[in-house]
Amino acid sequence: MSKLMLLHVDARIDLFLGLSNRIEGFMLYKIVATPNNVHWGYFDASLSPVQIVKDGDIIMMEAITHHAGDAPNLMMDKGIEKIFTDIPIEDRNPGVHIMTGPLYVQGAKPGDMLEVEFLAMDVRNPYGANYAAPWGYLYEETDRSERVTIYRADTTNMFVRAVYAYDYPDEYSYPGKIVNDACCCHEAACEGIAVSMAPHLGTAGVAPDLPGRISTIPPGAHGGNIDNWRIGAGAKMFYPVFVDGALFSIGDPHISQGDGELNGTAIEASLDVVIRVKVRRDFYFPTPLLETSNEWLVHGFDVDLNAAMRNTAVDTLRFLTEIKKMSRNDAYSIASIACNFGITQVVDDRKGVHSIIPKSMFKPDLIKFV
């Protein structure tokens, strides 16, 4: 484990930047989220990078939630406010997420894999918003209620509690809308409930090799809005590279979410994120691959949930045969008896399914037979 995980992000990054811009021979960068360092709602292969980095470099990046306006007095500071005021509404498209980046990783070429190791994720402001959105899975069944619940994070004990809730005062009409608190009736919500924190990125990825702006809303082979709560500190993501330099960006930070993201959002809250990037040529995988300390996770996407499940199942067999070198028959058996398939999210146009492959089964030396 990197020594970078020993301190909080702010103190750690400022300390190392103050002493040296190198750690163990690699460069260390800090990317502040400003109107010039973010792009709102899209990936784009023609974007100029905000920073050129090389294999092994460490980067601290500020990730800003586009829901900060749901409780501006609690979730916005001067830096966030400047992004909301300086980027015109007409430039926030076709998606909704504020993306920091992109990073140009030297040496990354189409056909490579970009390894992104998430070293740390710290809460920027200790508040977040959950919005029962019109795109939520049960929007019609909840009488079209657009309810906002504001949560406060206890970063010492790593849980969140609801502070208050209100009904959205008018229609959600554009990304980054700022709500006037005076128009909202604050009501008690979720009393007696504490939810575990799991800071993670809902959206991150590389630029697709497609012309123009590509929406951040649907996930895909490039990454994007995967909304897997396991993409947090200590995890690694592996993205197939489609353009020179990969052009990696992060956004849509969350502090808690369940599999499914049923009402359309997680607890949306800004984060400070520390990553290490590496270029991998020793293997290839066609979709974003997640590694945690105990598991591998394969992702599949489609507008149809059944098709997303099939895509995930096919690529799970691909992982077991091509990366773990199992026969196809063995892989099919193991996928059925040892791999868990779950619904990542059902609310991002393209639905997501993941399979969880336990690492423990690849260590037969730990099992003793009598």
Q: Please compute the mean of the pLDDT values over residues 343-351 and round it to a whole number.
A: 97
Q: What is the pLDDT of residue 340?
A: 98
**368, pLDDT greater than 60:** no
Which pLDDT band holds residue 182 (cuts at 50, 70, 90)?
confident
Q: Please compute the mean of the pLDDT values over residues 201-224 and round it to a whole number.
A: 98
Which pLDDT band holds residue 128 (cuts at 50, 70, 90)?
very high
> For the ranges 25-29, 193-197, 255-259, 347-351, which has the lowest average pLDDT?
25-29
**23, pLDDT greater than 70:** no
Asked if residues 151 and 193 have their Cβ atoms less than 8 Å apart, the reply is no
Is the pLDDT higher at 61 or at 180?
61
What is the C-alpha to C-alpha distance for residues 351 and 81, in angstroms, rounded to an integer?
32
What is the share, in percent, of the chain residues with pLDDT greater than 70?
Answer: 92
For the chain, give the longest Cα–Cα distance: 71
Q: Please compute the mean of the pLDDT values over residues 311-321 and round it to a whole number.
A: 98
Given the structure tokens 């969350």, which residue do they identify?
254
Which pLDDT band holds residue 24 (cuts at 50, 70, 90)?
low
Q: Please compute the mean of the pLDDT values over residues 76-86 and round it to a whole number.
A: 98
Q: Please compute the mean of the pLDDT values over residues 153-164 and round it to a whole number.
A: 97
Which pLDDT band holds residue 22 (cuts at 50, 70, 90)?
low
Which pLDDT band holds residue 370 (cuts at 50, 70, 90)?
very low
Which pLDDT band holds residue 144 (cuts at 50, 70, 90)?
confident
Q: What is the pLDDT of residue 14?
A: 56
Q: What is the pLDDT of residue 110?
A: 98
Given the structure tokens 């690529």, which residue do they identify?
315
Chain segment 274-290, per-residue pLDDT in tens: 999 999 999 999 999 99
Is the pLDDT higher at 368 or at 300?
300
**334, pLDDT greater than 60:** yes
Q: What is the pLDDT of residue 200?
A: 98
> For the ranges 22-36, 61-75, 264-278, which has the lowest average pLDDT?
22-36
Q: Please compute the mean of the pLDDT values over residues 317-327 and round it to a whole number.
A: 97
**209, pLDDT greater than 70:** yes
Calculate the average pLDDT of the chain. Answer: 92
> For the ranges 58-62, 170-174, 176-180, which has the lowest average pLDDT?
170-174
